[in-house]
A = this chain, B = another copy of it.
Amino acid sequence: MAFEVKATIATFGGKLLKLSHQSTSTRTPMAVSVYLPPSALQTASPPPLPVLFYLSGLTCTPDNCTEKGFFSAAAAAHGIAVVYPDTSPRGAAIAGEDDSYDFGSGAGFYVDATAAPWRAHYRMETYVARELPGLLFGAAGPIPGLPGVRFDGARAAITGHSMGGHGALTLYLKYPGQWRSVSAFAPVANPAACPWGQKAFAGYFGEDRKDDEWKKHDATELVRAGKAPPELPALIDVGTGDNFYKQGQLLPENLEAAVKEKGVKGVQVRYHADYDHSYYFISTFAQDHVNHAAKYIL
């Protein structure tokens, strides 16, 4: 069995499963949590579940959002499963990986590193976009102890916060057809142009890859390069009291400008007065993001 169940927690009528598995992408054990809505547990053979992936921000494990994000309430109501991957490999034993909050552990940026020594383990793009969906969608009854529970890979959506908002937007754009909708909370929308992204991309790709590899992992640059579909079903929320927004780490205006320049339709960016970068912000709008996904995956 691919997954080991570390904990099963009753919440909002369903179950939150804390899972662990050995990843072929990162060559480390990976933690991932999955919320199963009540509808998944009421019969022995429930219909395959629509799935919302939530990608967390810097420093987070799956626990931050499952404790503070409040997605389960709306997911339970809609009958949607929520998948919470970790933000990086842990314990890869690379020198310095635990030294920064914004690089290495807890800061995988949802990219496959090409620079040594990170490339041996820091492959979060392949992990989130390929390996994890393969494990969840490919197998019959992937959750130990719940053989009837299946996930419907044709009905998947993706969202995320901050670094995870960057992950959601870029993976949506890079893997057409894999997710039916995308949304983001305070995303790092133009990482090649902000300090967080520049540090991460310099480390994972190298300074010399600014003009090619960096741009392939930047939502604003991907849109500029014509990689967005004509209709992009994206909901993006930003708090105007968010210090990282004020410091220019998020740059949602750059994404908006690119979307406008390319005539891409369907992108809704909302600015909320006074809201900060925390889970107090995320939890407030979590229901809107689950509802957004539900329009496409139910």
Contact = CB atoms under 8 A, between A and B. Distances in A.
B280 A9 contact: yes
A274 interface: yes
Contact of A10 (B12, B73, B276): B276
The 10 closest A-B pairs by CB, nearest first: A11-B280, A10-B274, A10-B275, A9-B280, A12-B284, A67-B68, A11-B284, A70-B70, A68-B68, A9-B276
Given A272-B10, A284-B12, A284-B13, A279 B73 contact: no
Nearest to A239: B10
Interface in A1-36: 9-13, 16
Interface of A: 9-13, 16, 66-68, 70, 72-73, 239, 241, 272-276, 278-281, 283-284
Nearest to A285: B12
Given A73-B73, A280-B16, A10 B67 contact: no
A49 B37 CA distance: 35
A13 B281 CA distance: 10
Contacts of A281: 10-11
A264 to B, nearest CB: 30
A68 B68 CA distance: 5
Pick from A16, A66, A274 the residue with the most CB of B within 10 Å. Answer: A274
13 contacts: A9-B276, A9-B278, A10-B239, A10-B241, A10-B274, A10-B276, A11-B275, A11-B284, A67-B67, A67-B279, A68-B68, A70-B73, A72-B283
